[in-house]
A and B are shown apart, each in its own frame.
Chain A
Amino acid sequence: MQCERRNGTQPALTYVETVDTVDTAWERVKNEEKRNLSLGGHVGFDSLPDQLVSKSVTQGFCFNILCVGETGIGKSTLMNTLFNTMFENEEASHYQNGVYLRPRTYDLQESNVHLKLTIVDTVGFGDQINKEDSYKPIVDYIDTQFENYLQEELKIKRSLFNYHDTRIHICLYFIAPTGHSLKSLDLVTMKKLDSKVNIIPIIAKADTISKSELHKFKIKIMSELVSNGVQIYQFPTDDEAVSEINASMNAHLPFAVVGSVEEVKVGNKTVRARQYPWGVVQVENESHCDFVKLREMLIRVNMEDLREQTHARHYELYRRCKLEEMGFKDTDPDSQPFSLQETYEAKRKEFLGDLQRNEEEMRQMFVNKVKETEAELKEKERELHDKFEQLKRMHQEEKRKVEEKRKDLDEEMNAFNRKKVAAETLSLSQPLKKDKDKKKIFKEEPMSSLAMAIEGSAYK
């Protein structure tokens, strides 16, 4: 459609021209340009965050903590103190054969918020003489939770919004309060865990270290972590609302904590504390220990961020590695992106090809076997046949011999009979006496049937 321009002036927008310019404007918009528009009144979508929050509250939250530390270092006590409740816990013995993980799930509620809390304890950590493999059960547990989530995500019919997420959101690593430096077991374990889970290192039983020692200890620990390349969790500073407090807390890591569920009267208040002859260590006193800081950071400020990091970073890394292991790629050799369908179809073709080949091989093997056995049997048959041919020939031979003998005998007998006949004819021409004698003889002599037969035949 033509657009006629009047000289020197902007063309008046006729319907035709409108369509023209509209087309181009629309083209631009179609290419995903975002227009910023101002509102002429209160629309109401500022309630969106509230809608989201109300949905999350209805669904409930879940949070999973992993406590890694030697037996007796105060893991259970700290959990009880953090959550202000006595979780059932038997004391662990020092004589475990290996490290095993003990997860326990609790349902907590505070005002209208439901929290499904899972605390995973490492039982037996640090107790064995050879601790080379101590980290393995921990890594395996974390990976298993990722794997379970991944399997659910890959299912054809899945229900992710119903899924009880057991992935570890935070690992509290308990450092023994030696005052000197990290143990090599600590470094090894944290190095193995830092790419799989958010780690917050804490100094346990901090009431055994003095303030100045503590300061030096913290610096030593952080420098060792940095020099060994261990990535611990950094409280996020990108959100203005919490960046300041998070930044300052980052400087206090690792937190030196004291846990206690016993209550001691201090002044006119009853607080949670540990009573010593020389004084009372108050858990919630910030000048005594960093417990409050830990609670603030872990629960009140960054819980959601920990969950997000676990899902968006650690889980994605696990998923990526696993899928690559299974042979999935995002682009084919020509750098064209694969669609999911293509990937699955390719895998399926390969898989079916394998199955086909297996079947073929098996059949072939059988065919060969059958051929072999047939040949064997035929051979046997032939042998048998030969044997009996031979026997038959022998038999024929024997028969022939017998026949010959028979013939001989017959000839002999014939000769004898002729002789006999001749003799008799001779005696017939002899005198009577002799006839009588002969008769007698004839009468006396029993005639064998054979002789009679021969005579009979001779007379013929």
Chain B
Amino acid sequence: MLLSRVTMKQHSKQQKNLEGYVGFANLPNQVYRKSVKRGFEFTLMVVGESGLGKSTLINSLFLTDLYSPEYPGPSHRIKKTVQVEQSKVLVKEGGVQLLLTIVDTPGFGDAVDNSNCWQPVIDHIDSKFEDYLNAESRVNRRLMPDSRVQCCLYFIAPSGHGLKPLDIEFMKRLHEKVNIIPLIAKADTMTPEECQQFKKQIMKEIQEHKIKIYEFPETDDEEEMKMVRKIKDRLPLAVVGSNTIIEVNGKRVRGRQYPWGVAEVENGEHCDFTILRNMLIRTHMQDLKDVTNNVHYENYRSRKLAAVTYNGVDNNKTKGQLTKSPLAQMEEERREHVSKMKKMEQEMEQVFEMKVKEKLQKLRDSEAELQRRHEQMKKNLEAQHKELEEKRRQHEEEKSNWEAQQRILEQQKLDASRTLEKNKKKKIF
């Protein structure tokens, strides 16, 4: 989820009314003073095919020979591959120092095969972000030079028809990394009506492709809003640049001399140059820096740090957790891990306990079973024993009975034989 433009107003609701002058209304002056002492920096990137008048426009914007025969513009420095080169100039005006860095891209869009010609540009912007991020994250921080690209002027060839595929591709890839201000170059090749048409077509295509060009901030000030709306209606700005000064009606102006007249650079009816200059330099330079710092850079940073933090961690969990620093994130992960381990430990304990109980129960059961069987067998044995005893007893009883009988029989026999003998003896007589 990327940051979008946020209004940076801080109005508080409860107010205390001061009786008498305290003096902190002087704070803005203090800020003014310090900022002048510090000086200002601005990094501007110009991108477009060669011959579109980029160098001329820069020279016209800053009213100085930034590009000159000794320091030629990008169209004169084309090499085999697209380069990204920067040059720094120091300019002073009204006590205010400005360190201006112009980044240009010789070779952009000039080859036969222009695939990926935007890559060096992306790489350059990212590397500046990276430098800033590293400088910001050092333990020992010193005053950081800010070389992040704060504005990109993209030059559109005045075909009169629409955007080229290269234009669309470039803007789509860079609109979330840098403030893009699209310009129609060499606007003096179109009539006002053609220009209107062209602008409409371009804006339509920009909206279709959901390209986010630099947006002017809303203000409360009615005056300012009027001006902003005026600018918005004229987007993209159609510009003309010139290095030569021509006399027109007694005035010396920058312009391009044609047989049929002079196209004046600073004439609002001829082109939108003045609007561009006012917007870029006189009113919105600070805002361009702020948006770069608060939106584009922060997006880069959070993406970079999220990649570092969540390296190897399931990405589904991490959406919406980006409000922590990587260290805090690690702390939280550590806590999560500890609680996970505790749970795991508990579970394993439980399983372990259960298994032990089971086993013990089994042991007890088998012990009981064995005991039971043993008892059973013992009972059996005892029963047999008893039975045997009973048998013996019976046998003994029978035996003694029989023996008693025998003895009686014997006795009877004896008596009988004695009686017989007696009888025999009697008969003989």
Chain A residues with CB under 8 Å of chain B are 13, 18-19, 21-22, 25-26, 29-30, 32-53, 55-61, 63, 82-85, 106-116, 151, 154-159, 161-162, 239, 241-242, 295-296, 299-305, 308, 316, 319-320, 323-324, 326, 328-330, 337, 339-341, 343-345, 347-348, 351-352, 354-355, 358-359, 362, 366, 369-370, 373, 377, 380-381, 384, 388, 391-392, 395, 398-399, 402, 405-406, 409, 412-413, 416, 420, 423, 427, 430, 433-434, 437-438, 441, 445, 448, 450-451
| CB contact list, B348-389 vs A, under 8 A | 348, 352, 356, 359-360, 363, 366-367, 370, 374, 377-378, 381, 384-385, 388
Which single residue of chain B is at the shortest CB-CB distance from A110? B25
CA distance A248 to B378 in the complex (A): 117
Which residue from B36, B374, B399 sits with its C-beta under 8 Å from A49? B36
Chain A residues near B139 (CB-CB < 8 A): 319-320, 323-324, 328-330
**B37, B93, B141, B378: residue with the most chain A Cβ atoms closer than 10 Å:** B93
Tally inter-chain residue pairs, CB-CB below 8 A: 362
Please name 28 pairs of A and B residues whose Cβ atoms are closer than 8 Å in the assembled complex, sorted by A. Answer: A36-B89, A37-B90, A38-B64, A43-B277, A45-B98, A46-B96, A47-B281, A48-B40, A49-B35, A55-B290, A57-B28, A59-B10, A109-B18, A154-B328, A155-B323, A156-B301, A162-B6, A239-B33, A300-B23, A301-B30, A323-B139, A366-B352, A405-B388, A413-B395, A416-B402, A427-B409, A430-B413, A437-B409
Instruction: Given A35-B89, A366-B348, check contact A351 B334 (CB 8 Å).
Output: yes
The answer to whether B402 and A47 have CB atoms under 8 Å apart is: no
Q: B64 to A82, Cβ gap below 8 A?
A: no
Enumerate chain B residues within 8 angstroms of A30, measured Cβ to Cβ: 85-87
Known: A37-B91, A351-B334. 17 other contacts (CB 8 A): A45-B93, A49-B36, A51-B284, A55-B286, A106-B16, A107-B13, A108-B24, A110-B21, A116-B10, A156-B302, A299-B23, A320-B139, A340-B137, A362-B344, A366-B345, A395-B377, A402-B385
Whether B18 lies near A85 (C-beta < 8 A) is yes
In contact, A35 and B18 (Cβ under 8 angstroms): no
Which of the segments B67-75, B111-119, B154-162, B182-190 contacts the partner chain?
Answer: B67-75
Query: B398 at the A/B interface (Cβ < 8 Å)?
Result: yes
Given contacts A22-B70, A33-B88, A304-B27, contact A395 B311 (CB under 8 A): no
Taking a contact as CB atoms under 8 Å apart, the answer to whether A35 and B88 are in contact is yes
Q: Are A157 and B322 neighbours in the complex by a CB distance under 8 Å? A: yes
Instruction: Kindly state the separation between the CA atoms of A164 and B324 in the bound complex, as whole angstroms.
Output: 17
| B99: interface (CB < 8 Å) | yes
By the criterion CB–CB under 8 Å, are A39 and B27 in contact?
Answer: no
In this complex, what residue of B is CB-closest to A300?
B23
State the CA gap A36–B90 with chains docked (Å).
5
A26 CA to B348 CA, complexed, in Å: 70
Contact pick for A304, options B30, B90, B277, CB 8 Å: B30
Known contacts A35-B88, A434-B413; is-contact A299 B24 (Cβ 8 Å): yes
- The verdict on B248 contacting chain A, using a C-beta distance below 8 Å, is no
With A49-B35, A56-B28 as contacts: A29 and B87 at CB distance below 8 Å: yes
Q: Which of A19, A26, A57, A412 contacts B71 (CB 8 A)?
A: A26
Tell me, in angstroms, the Cα distance from A343 to B139 when the chains sit together: 11
A83 to B87, CA, bound (A): 49
Known: A35-B89, A52-B31, A399-B381. A158 touches B283 (CB 8 A): no
CB of A374 to closest CB in B, whole Å: 9
B9 CB–A CB distance under 8 Å: yes
A304 and B28 CA atoms in complex are apart in Å by 9
Residues of the A chain whose Cβ atoms lie less than 8 Å from the Cβ of B90: 34-37
Residues on B with beta carbons closer than 8 Å to the beta carbon of A43: 61-64, 91, 93, 277, 281
Question: Beta-carbon contacts of B1-23 to A below 8 Å, as 1s and 0s?
Answer: 00000101111111111111111
Provide the main secondary structure of the chain A interface.
helix
A304 — nearest CB in chain B belongs to which residue? Answer: B30
CA distance A39 to B381 in the complex (A): 127
Of the four ranges (under 10, 10 to 19, 20 to 34, 35 or more), the interface on chain B belongs to 35 or more
Is B392 within 8 A of A409, CB to CB?
Answer: yes
* Residue pair A412, B66 in contact (C-beta under 8 Å): no
Chain B residues whose CB sits within 8 angstroms of the CB of A41 once the complex forms = 63
Bound CA span A423–B281, Å: 152
Chain A residues lying within 8 Å of B94, measured Cβ to Cβ, are: 46
**Contact across chains for A348 and B309 when beta carbons are under 8 A apart:** yes
Please tell me which one of the listed residues A18, A56, A340, A345 contacts residue B69 in the complex, with CB atoms under 8 A apart.
A18
A115-B27 in contact (CB<8A): yes
A391 to B369, CA, bound (A): 13
Interface membership of B76, Cβ < 8 A: yes
Q: Are A25 and B71 in contact (CB under 8 A)?
A: yes
Return the contact of A384 from the options B42, B359, B366 (Cβ within 8 A): B366
Verify if B138 is at the interface (C-beta below 8 Å from A).
yes
Chain B residues within an 8 Å CB radius of A451:
398
Checking A106, A305, A399, A405 against B30 with a beta-carbon cut-off of 8 angstroms, the contacting residue is: A305
Nearest chain A CB to B405's CB is how many angstroms away? Answer: 7
Q: A43-B91, A107-B16 are in contact. Are A316 and B302 (CB under 8 A)?
A: no
Q: Is the CB of B308 within 8 A of A85?
A: no
Q: Does B227 contact A (CB under 8 A)?
A: no
Complex Cα distance A13/B138, Å? Answer: 48
Residues from chain B with a CB closer than 8 A to the CB of A29 are 71, 87-88
